[in-house]
Amino acid sequence: MQRYEIAIIGSGPAGYVGAIKAAREGFPTSVIEKGDFGGVCLNKGCIPTKTLVASAKQLRNTRRAADFGIDLKGPVTAIFQKLNDRKESVVDIEKKGLIKLVENSGAEVIKGQASFVNKNVLKVSGAGGEKTIHAQSIIVATGSKPKNLPFLPFDGEKVLSSDELLSLDSLPESMIIIGGGYIGCEFASIFSALGTKITIIEALPRLLMNVDEDIVAVLNREFKKEGIDILTNSQIVGTKVADKVTVTLADGTDISADICLVSVGRRPSTDGLSAENTGLSILPDGAIKVNEQMMTNIPGVFAVGDVIGNPMLAHVASAECKVAVGNALGNHFLMDYTVIPSGIFTYPEIGSVGLTEEQARTAGRDVKTGTVLLRSLGISHASGEIVGMAKLVADAVSDMIIGIHIIGERATDLIHEVAVAMYQGMTASALGYVIHTHPTFSELVSEAARDANGGAIFSRRLYA
């Protein structure tokens, strides 16, 4: 029986980060993976989708080359197979790099399905047979998988999950996307740029219900400019899958498309773990229950990432596993969820951190906001990226920053300045005094901070 100080089940952004951290501190560590190394993020999520986002953005920019004084002859089209080849190449490069990084740290990568024998012993079943390993501490980082719809199950051909959509070998002429969350919106943006006719069906009143309403309004407008149909407050009452996928709505409308992406969220993945052999506490939604130290109810067993439920974000999973490893090695670290940035890689992209205005007011807080349009900045016109805005939310009494929400070029990067400011307890006034380089997109942040107190040079009112 092989023995380790720490065994991590799952090699995604939680697993590989935790394994490297533990091994570099000199502790015998293994990371066990039943599928492709890197988990969902590397193979079916963050990296392949953002590779396609980059291709879609390049395509959009090439199509408007004339706006920049560049004369391109002939039509600009996407070669879908080459896009896919580049996506696979990027994933492969990342995978090889991560495996080498883990192995160079001293951690051992074990291929196979891990299942609990007891709280310290795992059985690993793989192509080479079975082995048993013992670990003082075990960290479960098995991620999540797409939720399905009972009335429209995945078939891998016409009705697809987000995982399966990334394996298409040809570009569909039309696609229905059920679900207007961040995954559905990202794929809508990608495939619309490539030439697919997109219809989004969302049961709730608007897309991206957890995103600031003003930000979503901008995205709606830009999606409609691209020809994306958005149907909100829409209940599905019937479906038919044949040569086309047809969805019938409660108002009697039939919508048909070549394929349908079902994107209604993800669920924790504990399949094959044999968690019942340890008595692990599982919540009703299938997530493993943990405390703020990432400990389960079983001493020595920790859980991190998507398998413990929301927020299902790769960078949060990495942070959680650092906490879990630290505590497995005898520390008493607590996971801090107070400042969590998030990005949505649509076109235009969206970056957020902290509370929205609506969330803050619902919580009973008296707030003030600062809003600035991207087109008020010189760099936006020079770069040809004028669509977007920033909205900073601050406490009306203390002036403390409690959130910022940006849509537009580099939004997913710009929010981190405010994340740091929030983490350090800065006020909007203090952030507004920080000198920002001109001309840069970062001026959007300082102007929004100033606008919260009426001091913006480029007031939104001048551009409304």
* 333 within 8 A of 29, measured Cβ to Cβ: no
As a whole number of Å, the CA-based R_g of the chain is: 24
Q: Is residue 339 part of a domain?
A: no
Res 464: pLDDT? 47
- CATH code at position 308: 3.50.50.60
Q: Which helix (H) or strand (E) holds 449?
A: helix 443-451
Catalytic hit among 332, 381, 436, 438: 438
Q: Is residue 338 part of a domain?
A: no
pLDDT of residue 462 exceeding 90, the answer is no
Nearest to 33 by CA among 107, 175, 133, 141: 141
In this structure, the answer to whether residues 259 and 291 fall within a common structural domain is: no
pLDDT band at 127 (very low <50, low <70, confident <90, very high): confident
CA 456 from chain centre, in angstroms, equals 32
CA 338 from chain centre, in angstroms, equals 18
- CATH code at position 417: 3.30.390.30
Identify whether 439 is preceded by a cis peptide bond (ω within 30 of 0).
yes
In this structure, the answer to whether residues 251 and 287 fall within a common structural domain is: no
Tell me the mean pLDDT in the region 282-297: 97
In this structure, the answer to whether residues 92 and 163 fall within a common structural domain is: no
Domain count, the chain: 3
Q: Is residue 10 part of a domain?
A: yes
pLDDT of residue 237 exceeding 50, the answer is yes
pLDDT band at 459 (very low <50, low <70, confident <90, very high): low
In this structure, the answer to whether residues 128 and 237 fall within a common structural domain is: no
Tell me the mean pLDDT in the region 369-379: 96
In this structure, the answer to whether residues 137 and 286 fall within a common structural domain is: yes
Tell me if residue 438 is catalytic. yes
For 248-269, what is each residue's pLDDT tens digit? Answer: 999 999 999 999 999 999 999 9
At 357, which amino acid appears?
A: E
In this structure, the answer to whether residues 128 and 274 fall within a common structural domain is: yes
Q: Is residue 15 part of a domain?
A: yes
In this structure, the answer to whether residues 140 and 168 fall within a common structural domain is: no
Integer angstrom CA distances of residue 7 from 12, 48, 162, 388, 432:
14, 27, 29, 45, 47
Res 460: pLDDT? 59
pLDDT band at 7 (very low <50, low <70, confident <90, very high): very high
In this structure, the answer to whether residues 354 and 421 fall within a common structural domain is: yes
**Global model pTM greater than 0.85:** yes
Tell me the mean pLDDT in the region 331-355: 97
Q: Which domain holds residue 258?
A: 159-264
Q: Is residue 341 part of a domain?
A: no
In this structure, the answer to whether residues 183 and 225 fall within a common structural domain is: yes
* 406 within 8 A of 388, measured Cβ to Cβ: yes
Between CA 384 and CA 356 the distance in angstroms is: 28
In this structure, the answer to whether residues 163 and 191 fall within a common structural domain is: yes
In this structure, the answer to whether residues 96 and 110 fall within a common structural domain is: yes
For 440-457, what is each residue's pLDDT tens digit? Answer: 999 999 999 999 999 998
What share of the chain in percent tops pLDDT 70?
Answer: 99
In this structure, the answer to whether residues 135 and 273 fall within a common structural domain is: yes
Tell me the mean pLDDT in the region 211-229: 98
Structure tokens at 50: 């953002």
Q: How many CB atoms lie within 10 A of CB 362?
A: 10
Q: Among 216, 249, 264, give the residue marking a domain's end.
A: 264
Beta bridge partners of 371: 391
